[in-house]
Structure 1
Amino acid sequence: MVNGLSVDVEDWFQVGAFENVIARDDWDDLALRVEDNVLRILDLFAEAGVKATFFTLGWVAERNGALMRRIVEAGHELASHGYDHARVFTFDRTQFAADIRRARETLEDAGGVAVTGYRAPSFSIDQRTPWAYLELAEQGYAYSSSVAPIAHDHYGWREAPRFAFHPLPGSDLVEVPVTTATFGGKRLAAGGGGFFRVLPYGFSRWAIRQVNRRDGRPAVFYFHPWEIDPDQPRVPGAPLRSRLRHYTNLERMAPKLRDLVREFAWGRMDEIAQREAARAVPLAA
């Protein structure tokens, strides 16, 4: 079973946890660390012989064109993470259309390839944004991986299907949600990020095996470049919960990732989406 491996390419100061303490207008004055971290990830993937999708902010691509070409030349997919990590539900449809268009144009100019995949910042497509899929389809995206089908204080669309679904009648657009496992009738977040960093590696192994063997579906895993960077600057004034979520186990992340990419089979999200499209269910009205 080939699983979907993805990297949400944003720098340490662009995360949702710090959006209320670091202003976008200050971003260009902060230390950029994303390039070095992505280069480390490319080396890690090359050692394991795996390919992945890099869902990248247009803001990052605009300032790191050579890095975008390195990603593409290594055989990975370059996909959109929006322009500057604004959550989808903070837009109206017109604003969202402008954001994804700007991000896509920036990424395609930097990487020299067509961009057909999208992941919403902070998995922020949910029941509040029914127009988001209409706009993605209209702009020609082939797939989205923007839904976390769980209840969470930061994000989540609990009622969404756990596996691939077609969000629009008559459209080929497919949504491939991030992975959840089930235990005792409850859904558990198991798709990576902070959950992978904080919980024992055995939990992720169990969850991926459950999805692969019991459900017969590929897992969808994600993480961020800043998660392998224990030396990143600390953000003064950030809420305690945000600091705990962001900084816990940073020094353990790279070794855990190395184990993960060697233990399971991994591939690009566009390939996973193409295969899953035939099994995707329609989204219930």
Structure 2
Amino acid sequence: MALNAFTVDVEDWFHICGVDDRLPASQWDRLESRVVPTTRALLDDLAAAGQRGTFLVVGWVAERHPALIREIRDGGHEIGLHGHRHRRIFEMTPEAFRQDLRDNLAALAAAGAGPVVSFRAPEWSLNHRAPWGPAILAEEGLRIDASRAPVARVGSPGYPRRPYPLATPAGALLEVPPLVGRLAGHAVPLGWGWGLRKAAPADVVSAIAANNRDGDPAVLTVHPWELDPAPPHVRLPAPLAFAHYYKLSGFRERLRQVLAGAEFGPLCELPDARAWLAD
């Protein structure tokens, strides 16, 4: 039984929300895809550490690289959803979100992913700005959501920090939040993004251990492009540029140290999730 969850948002380097003027979806097929080698790097590092995780896959990636999906599956990892075209949920209508989910599920099924129960919204966007979203997840057969970050800007500091039932008219989901830290009295990312890249591995491992002593899991999230040794750069608005490019150098080695310092598994094997899925 996994004490903590390691999750990967399987997207390419150009799957960035809010920059359709610079990286329009109509041009994605013309850009150099780097998701296969960078995802394989993560698979290699997880295997070397004896760890497994949940790979939440953009449907666009599954359609173009079905063999990669089978590699993830055959490595013993859980496969989940990360949106078909990596769009923020609150920028879609409910009908468009439902179709996006169905397209994502179909792409994974065609690639041989197996059963899918877990979802994470791009950019943590299944939040208070899309109150209708969780019910659609439940209606489409999802059981676990990992989209609500308990920090400002992309979520809310008021969201719980351990797994909890999220009620919807179509039945409850198990919500599994990411690991957060504190900086100057504010909740900040620690288990993902710039916060994870910035933190010393020993500090991340210490925070995970503190969560575990309290009986709570820690959930980490990475993207394949964060391990790219020579990532393509595009001019982005300052907040996005910081989120995407800050402290990428050396991140793979720092992440290896974190993987060696704690016990990880898929979302679906967390104790709360096992009990949830057994109901």
Scaled by the length of structure 1, the TM-score of the pair is 0.89
- Taking the TM superposition and a 5 Å limit, the aligned residue runs for 1:147-162 are 147-152=148-153, 155-162=154-161
The question of 1:198 aligning with 2:198 is answered yes
Q: Distance in 2 between matches of 1:10 and 1:258?
A: 20
* One-letter amino acid matched to 1:125: L
Q: Distance in 2 between matches of 1:20 and 1:197?
A: 28
CA separation of 1:44/1:211 partners in 2, compared to 1, >3 Å: closer, same or farther?
same
CA-to-aligned-CA distance 1:81-123 (integer Å, 9 cap, x gap): 0101100110121111111111011112112401111000011
CA separation of 1:130/1:164 partners in 2, compared to 1, >3 Å: closer, same or farther?
same
Provide the residue aligned with 2:88 in structure 1: 87
- In structure 2, which of residues 243, 249, 252 is the aligned counterpart of residue 251 of structure 1? 249
Whether the aligned pair in 2 keeps the contact of 1:181 and 1:187 (CA below 8 Å) is yes
How many residues get paired? Answer: 274
CA separation of 1:253/1:202 partners in 2, compared to 1, >3 Å: closer, same or farther?
same
Match of 1:262, SS?
helix
* One-letter amino acid matched to 1:128: R
Match of 1:250, SS?
coil
Displacement of 1:186 in angstroms is: 4.2
Provide the residue aligned with 1:260 in structure 2: 258
Q: How large is the Cα RMSD of the aligned pairs?
A: 2.0
Whether the aligned pair in 2 keeps the contact of 1:7 and 1:225 (CA below 8 Å) is yes
Whether the aligned pair in 1 keeps the contact of 2:165 and 2:174 (CA below 8 Å) is yes
* One-letter amino acid matched to 2:195: F
Provide the residue aligned with 1:2 in structure 2: 3
* One-letter amino acid matched to 2:89: V
CA separation of 1:216/1:184 partners in 2, compared to 1, >3 Å: closer, same or farther?
farther
CA separation of 1:172/1:51 partners in 2, compared to 1, >3 Å: closer, same or farther?
same
Displacement of 1:181 in angstroms is: 3.5
| Unmatched 5+ stretches in structure 1 | 279-285
* One-letter amino acid matched to 1:85: H
Match of 2:187, SS?
strand
Match of 1:86, SS?
coil
Provide the residue aligned with 1:281 in structure 2: none
CA separation of 1:46/1:169 partners in 2, compared to 1, >3 Å: closer, same or farther?
same
Identity fraction in percent: 35
Q: Distance in 1 between matches of 2:231 and 2:187?
A: 32
Provide the residue aligned with 2:129 in structure 1: 128
Scaled by the length of structure 2, the TM-score of the pair is 0.91
Q: Distance in 2 between matches of 1:37 and 1:149?
A: 28
Provide the residue aligned with 2:209 in structure 1: 209
Provide the residue aligned with 2:237 in structure 1: 239
